[in-house]
Amino acid sequence: MQGLITFLCGTLFAAGLVLSGMTLPAKIIGFLDIFGEWDPTLAFVMGGAVMVHLGFHQLFKKRERPLLASEFHLPDRTEIDYKLLGGSAIFGIGWGLGGFCPGPGIVSVVSTSPESILFFVGMLVGILFYHLIVALYKIPEAG
C-alpha cells in the first residue's frame, strides 16, 4: 500500500510539473527574466504548492507518526553555512543556464529530446562528482 501510494505521488508530482509548465525551459527563463521580458506566471507554481503543503503541515502538525510508515524522516541539518548557500548559488546558476531543475530534469527525459537527456546526464555527473569529492577529501557532511 505504501509502495503504491509512493508511486502515485510520483505520478501526481509529474502531473503538477508538466501541467504547470515547469518542463518548459523557455517558461522558466521567462520567469527568471525579471529585468527583461518577465513572465510571472510560474510564481503561482511555488505559490500553489506551498499554499497546499503549508496548510497541510499546519493541520498535520500534532501527529507523532505518519499514517502508514512508522516514523517521519526529517532533514537533520540546522546550520546556515557555506554548503547551504554556496550549493544553492551553484544550483541557481545551473537553473538559469538550462531552465531545468531536478524534477523537470528527470520527467523531461521521457521526451528523449537531446537537451533533456544531456541535462539529466549532466545532473548525474554533478551528483557523482560532488560525492566523490566529499569521499576523497573526507569533508564532514550530514545526510
Partner 1 sequence: MVNSPFFLPLVGGMLIGLSASILYACNGRIAGISGILGRLVRKKPNPQWRILFLAGLLAGGVLFLFLTPEQFIIEVQRSVIVFLMAGTFVGFGTQLANGCTSGHGVCGLSRLSLRSLLATLTFMSTAIMTVWFINNFWEGKI
Residues 84 to 113 in contact with partner 1, rule: CB under 8 A: 84-103, 105-111, 113
- 132 vs 137: CA distance, rounded Å: 8
CA of residue 129 relative to chain centroid, distance? 19
Minimum separation from the CB atom of position 136 to partner 1 (A)? 14
Cβ pair 103, 13 in contact under 8 A: yes
Among 65, 136, 138, 140, binds partner 1 (CB under 8 A): 65
Place of cell 538550462: 98
**Contacts of partner 1 in 28-57 (CB under 8 A):** 29, 32-36, 41-54, 56-57
- Number of shown-chain residues binding partner 1 (CB under 8 A): 110
Task: Give CA–CA dist 2/8, Å, rounded.
Answer: 10
For the CB of residue 139, give the shortest distance to partner 1 in the complex, in Å. Answer: 10
